[in-house]
Structure 1
Amino acid sequence: MFSYKLPNFIKKINTKNLCVVLTFLYVLSIIPMLVIGIYNWPSVDDFSMALQPHQTFVQTGNFFATVWSAFTKTIYIYNNWVGYFFSSFLTCLSPSIFGERWSALNAVIVIGMLTYGVMYFFDALFRRVWKMEGHMSYGLSMLTLLMVVQSMENGTTRAEAFYWWSGAINYTFMFGLSLAWIGMIFRFIYETDRFSTRRRVLRFVWICVLGFLLGGSNYMTALVMAVCSVLGLFILLMIKLGKFELKGNGNVKGLWVPFVCQLIGLVVSAVAPGNKIRGTAIGNISPIKVVLRSYYSILDVCVNDMMRWEVLLTLVIVAVIAWKMAEGMEYELHHPVVFAFFSFSMMACCVAPPLYAVSNVDAPRIRSTMWMQFLVLLVLTVVYYACWIRQNLQKTVAEEKDRFSLNSSTLLAVIVLFITFGSLLSIFVNPHYYSTTSAMVDLVKGNAKQYLTEKENRMEVFEDDSVKDVVFKPHTVRPELLFQSDMYEDATLWENTIVATYYNKNSVRVSK
């Protein structure tokens, strides 16, 4: 064999600099997604759920009367259709009720809450609970958000997750809010010295109120939060009995109240008369079969259908960062098998409600929620195992506190180069591969602008009182992130009739 030597361009990567780069990449990636939101437009359920509030605003121009109308519509939905009252109320308050162009706010609100929820939760868990280094925990939240937002499957899934108000506010927004709620509980336990008694009481009240409201969110999120609440009550009981020990300077006094509030919210949602009415129209499957299919669906949908090559490589970066973070971790991890089973079970728990209700998980908004929770829990599992393995291996070489080792830095550099090269190939074959490139393509080609122009042309007809039976041509463009659904040729279908009612027309249809 022969030996050779090449120049070594790899330097030890600074942890703070890595965090800055990841933050820059995430912010850069969502800018096109927010820009294309300017061309967004309401569709389908946005007209039915927000019909009465919209009519109230048109008639009165009064914001508070409009909010009250959304509240009364929520009561109607609770009694006649579905029980998740908090989700329904926010769905009825679509920005489009004040004018269709206000739909530009949809992506800002939804992506903003998702970003805040992930960042707040990771900071609370890794920094406050596990006492890990702050910059790297922040970097992990950026990596997770990049995977969640950019690597979500192509097609309507992205449109319903971020732009279609009725789907995005009900699922993506609630998922981000639920992460923030758990983060608030963690910080309430461990930030006992940072707040005055008055501020701590106010935070406690807010946690209780938010817990109750999340009990009235979509059943995927509400059920997962209910499992967390039951687990929290069990842990509190074990602490009281002296079986568990709360490490660190934490305080769990009265913490059972927000958990109970969340469970009460779910009960209020579950006993809604509307659930019984809606339940007669669908075929439920047995609870045992639901549990088994929930576990299988994680493997079938999240792993087989939605997992992508860049996500796998990014998870390696997560492991490298977690390996470094384990240096300063104050607590030892002892239960990798239990944690893995818990993580997998929580993924499956998210899937159970739609399986029980409609026997499938085909709806794009459901798939997007599965994807988000799957990735967050997968990142937590990778972090747990990387830290656990390092804690159980003898450390032989002292490492610099604020830098990765040369081997770790090399691995990070190789993976980044591979992801960059692979991304360029993937975008070349499919320009819509990432969410941000999909937005950029439709912006550059003018598809988003053309889509909005066609929507505005339709609005001119809707605003013409002399036209009562409306016939439109199909859209000539369908931007992936914005197009959720259109009307049909059959004017009697509910998607068409609700639009006709919304704009005070006799009939509305699309003719090919």
Structure 2
Amino acid sequence: MTNEFLNKSGKLLTILLTLSLIPMLVIAIYARPFVDDYGYSTRTHDAWQSTHSIIAVLGAMGKEVVDAYHTWQGSFSAIAIFSLQPGIISERVYGLSTIILVALFLLGNYLFITALFKEKSSLTTIVFASISILLMQTLPHAIQGFYWWNGSSYYTLFYSLMLIQWGMLIRQKRFILPCILGFFIGGGNLVTGLLNLEIMALAIIYSALKIWVTPKKHNAEDIPADAAIKRFIKLIIITAVSAAGFIINVLAPGNQVRAAESVSRPALEAIGVSFLDAFAYLNEWLNLPVVMFLLLLLPFLWHYAKDKKSLTPEIPVFILFIIAFCLFASTFTPTEYSMSEVGPRRIQNVRYYTFVVFLMFLELESVIRTRALFESKGIATNPNLTKTYLTRYLLLVIAGLTIFLGVNTIPKENRDNITSISATRTLLIGEAKRYAVARNEWTRILLSDDKEVTLNVINEQPKPIYYSEFDITGDPDDYRDESMCKYYHKTRINLVE
């Protein structure tokens, strides 16, 4: 595989990533707030509308965090993010939330992958672009991944921050920022908070083994013993700070209030059920697009693996697979413990991201070790044959991807399976624009001085920016209606056809 081929492949995938982002970002113009966007940002909205002062908004944010911490949930950093949803300025700029989420998601993927591969090259561009396209286009629920600030920031944003921290930990060049990120992630959702601590705990154990149990292998990396110990101490401190955020989150008085409204499982039972959940979703998500992604990466990883060392040479590959599965299973434990279920699809999004990243890492490790084994046995490949087979192989992968796109584009019932295709269709038929115009009329009425208002039912349901379960119902006792009433200071909102 030549450098020219790698460069062209990297440029092609970058173009495809860019093209896939265009409809995703354009349709965000027509997105509007939903449900908890209103509930968590009433204070900040009032502060901005009355003062236009950032200091006043931050003060209102602090009050929201303290109130929610004592009465509903302990995820203090997430509550702060919720209260700052862009719609507090104007519902017309709510689409900024998608830009923020997409930018952080791409940044997290890029920093993590370049750290994992220890280089910035055409190869890392290929991996970054392909995994970003896969995750953003085939995630379980697009609106809860990138178009609903409250749910998307709770999971996609915190997952992105977790990847950024992982990249920093791999590079081992920063200390203060990983501490801040770790504490912030610990104060977010419990799925990423727990997974982040597990990864760091494993990193501590692995570092200790390299320093004190297998020092010869460690010295082969030309790292002085005192420098390795300093890195180890820094890792412990970063983990401790991250754990402090997580503990503050878990011990919040509000968690007990929220727990009273759901049925929980015993801890050991929740752990056991989590493994069953993980196996079920492994079977569901190891589907055609994920398999084609792994096949697409295979020849590029094989080229990269030449003369490369395993990232974890002391750990057998089958142990890595077991650890990855256990980590994946642990993402189900918080919801199984607190709610006796896997939870809503916004949580499935972050599990899906994690699942694919783990698969990519396992494929990388397997390829590096397989190629090293071939080279140690003196098994060589004919360059001419390799080039021929590579061309045929990639053509086969491209054919598979084309079939997948066709299946999810031509039949009407499948057009919402891929985010950008769903967005493009909605834009072309004008559904998103009509929906936004109708929502703008809602806002005009809601900003009036009347305490009871009547809104027309909006029949447009543009995907991926609309989800019926998030919309108001016309029932004054429904929590969705109550949130909007509170936000706009209304006593009642009526809905009519």
TM superposition score normalised by structure 2: 0.91
Q: 1:374 aligns with which of 355, 367, 384?
A: 355
SS in 2 for 1:471: strand
Letter in 1 for 2:169: I
Could you tell me which amino acid in structure 1 is paired with residue 37 of structure 2?
Answer: D
User: Matches of 2:192 and 2:289 in 1, distance apart?
Assistant: 27
User: Mind listing any 5+ residue stretches in structure 1 that lack a counterpart?
Assistant: 1-9, 190-202
Which has the higher mean CA deviation after the structures are superposed, 488-497 or 167-176?
488-497
Report % sequence identity.
Answer: 22
Mapped contact 1:12–1:404 kept (Cα < 8 A): no
SS at match of 1:472: strand
State the partner residue of 2:253. 273
Q: Which amino acid aligns with 2:261?
A: A
Structure 1 pair 53–428 and aligned structure 2 pair: CA distance change class (3 A): same
**Contact 2:416/2:464 (CA < 8 Å) preserved in 1?**
no
Map 1:4-15; keep pairs closer than 5 Å: 14-15=5-6
Q: 1:320 maps to which residue?
A: 299
Report the secondary structure of 1:510's partner residue.
Answer: strand
> Which of 79, 88, 106 is 1:88 aligned to?
79
Q: Which residue of 149, 157, 171 corresponds with 2:136?
A: 149
Counterpart amino acid of residue 168 in structure 2: M
Contact 1:87-1:218 at 8 Å conserved across structures: yes
Shifted more, 69-78 versus 235-244: the winner is: 235-244
Instruction: Tell me which residue corresponds to 1:30.
Output: 21
Residues 443-495 of structure 1: per-residue CA shift (max 9 Å, x gap): 11101101100100111111221x32223232221111111321013111111
Matched, 1:127 2:118: yes
Once residues 295 and 87 of structure 2 are traced to their aligned partners in structure 1, the CA distance between those partners, rounded to angstroms, is 42
- Measured in 1, the distance between the counterparts of 2:444 and 2:170 equals 52
Trace 1:491-502 onto structure 2 (pairs within 5 A).
491-502=476-487
Map 1:145-224 to 2 at 5 A: 145-153=132-140, 157-188=141-172, 203-224=174-195
CA contact (8 A) 2:44 2:88 kept: yes
Deviation of residue 330 (structure 1)?
Answer: 3.2
Does residue 1:20 correspond to 2:5, yes or no? no
**1:450 is matched with which residue: 434, 443, 451?**
434
Q: Residue 425 of structure 1: which of 400, 407, 410 is its match?
A: 407
Contact 2:156–2:350 (Cα < 8 Å) also in 1: yes
| Aligned-pair CA distance for 1:395 | 5.1
Checking the alignment, whether the CA contact within 8 Å between 2:310 and 2:365 is kept in structure 1 is: no
- Give 1:223 shift: 0.2
- Does 2:451 correspond to 1:468? yes
**Any idea what the Cα deviations from partners look like across 1:125-164, whole Å, max 9, x if unmatched?**
1126xxxx832123112111111111123xxx21011010
Report if aligned partners of 1:87, 1:216 keep a CA contact under 8 Å in 2: yes
| Separation in 1, partners of 2:391, 2:4 | 6
Q: Distance in 1 between matches of 2:378 and 2:426?
A: 51
1:337 to 318, 322, 325: 318
Given that 1:127 and 1:137 are in contact with CA atoms closer than 8 Å, whether structure 2 keeps it comes out as: no
Does 2:483 correspond to 1:506?
A: no
Tell me the equivalent position of 1:411. 393
- Judge conservation of contact 1:70–1:92 (CA < 8 Å) in 2: yes
Contact 1:229 1:262 in 2 (8 A): no
Contact 2:115 / 2:171 at 8 angstroms: preserved in 1? yes
Q: Which residue of 2 aligns with 1:260?
A: 240
Establish whether residue 248 from structure 1 lines up as the match of residue 221 from structure 2.
Answer: yes
Q: Determine the C-alpha separation between the residues in 2 that align with 1:454 and 1:395.
A: 69
Q: Which of 377, 380, 404 is residue 397 of structure 1 equivalent to? A: 380
The one-letter amino acid paired with 1:477 is E
Give the secondary structure class of the aligned counterpart of 2:453: strand
Hey, what's the Cα distance between the residues in 1 that align with 2:421 and 2:203? 41
| Kept after mapping to 2: 8 A contact 1:36/1:439 | yes
Give the aligned residue type for 1:258.
Answer: I
Match of 1:229 among 187, 200, 204: 200
User: Which one of 282, 289, 295 corresponds to residue 310 of structure 1?
Assistant: 289
2:402 is aligned with what amino acid? T
Instruction: Report the equivalent of 1:489.
Output: 474
Question: Aligned equivalents of 1:328 and 1:243: distance in 2?
Answer: 22
Distance 1:311 1:280 in 2: 39
CA contact (8 A) 1:117 1:176 kept: yes
**Counterpart in the other structure of 2:98:** 107
Comparing 277-286 and 445-454, the one that deviates more: 277-286
CA contact (8 A) 1:127 1:134 kept: no
Does structure 2 conserve the Cα–Cα contact (< 8 Å) formed by 1:211 and 1:265? yes
For 1:84 and 1:422, the matched residues in 2 are separated by 39
Q: Would you say the 8 A contact 2:162–2:196 is kept in 1?
A: yes
Q: 1:229, CA displacement in angstroms? A: 2.1
Instruction: Tell me which moved more, 167-176 or 361-370.
Output: 361-370
Q: Which amino acid aligns with 2:480?
A: E
Partners of 1:229 and 1:263 within 8 A in 2: no
AA at the equivalent of 1:151: T
Q: Is the 8 A contact 1:15 1:404 kept in 2?
A: no
C-alpha distance 120-45 of structure 1, shift in aligned 2 (>3 A): same
> 2:32 & 2:372 partners in 1: Cα distance?
52
TM-score by length of 1: 0.89
* C-alpha contact (below 8 Å) 1:57/1:97 kept by paired residues: yes
CA distance in 2, matches of 1:210, 1:505: 38
Structure 1 Cα separation of the partners of residues 441 and 189 of structure 2: 35
- Aligned partners of 1:284 and 1:43: how far apart in 2? 27
- Contact kept? 2:61, 2:84, Cα under 8 Å: yes
Counterpart of 1:326, as a letter, is: A
1:353 to 325, 329, 334: 334
Cα offset, 1:432, TM superposition: 2.3
One of 387, 396, 412 as aligned partner of 2:368: 387
Quick check: 2:307–2:372 contact (8 Å CA) kept in 1?
no
**Does 114-123 or 407-416 show the bigger shift?**
407-416
- How far is the alpha carbon of 1:360 from its aligned partner? 1.2
Query: Are the equivalent residues in 1 in contact too, given 2:139–2:145 (CA < 8 A)?
Result: no
1:405-438 deviations in Å (ceiling 9; x for gaps)? 3312320122112311331232101322311111
**Aligned equivalents of 2:52, 2:117: Cα separation in 1:** 47
Q: CA–CA distance in 2 between the matches of 1:29 and 1:289?
A: 42
Q: For the structure 1 residues 475 and 399, does the alpha-carbon distance in structure 2 shift closer, same or farther, using more than 3 Å as the test?
A: farther
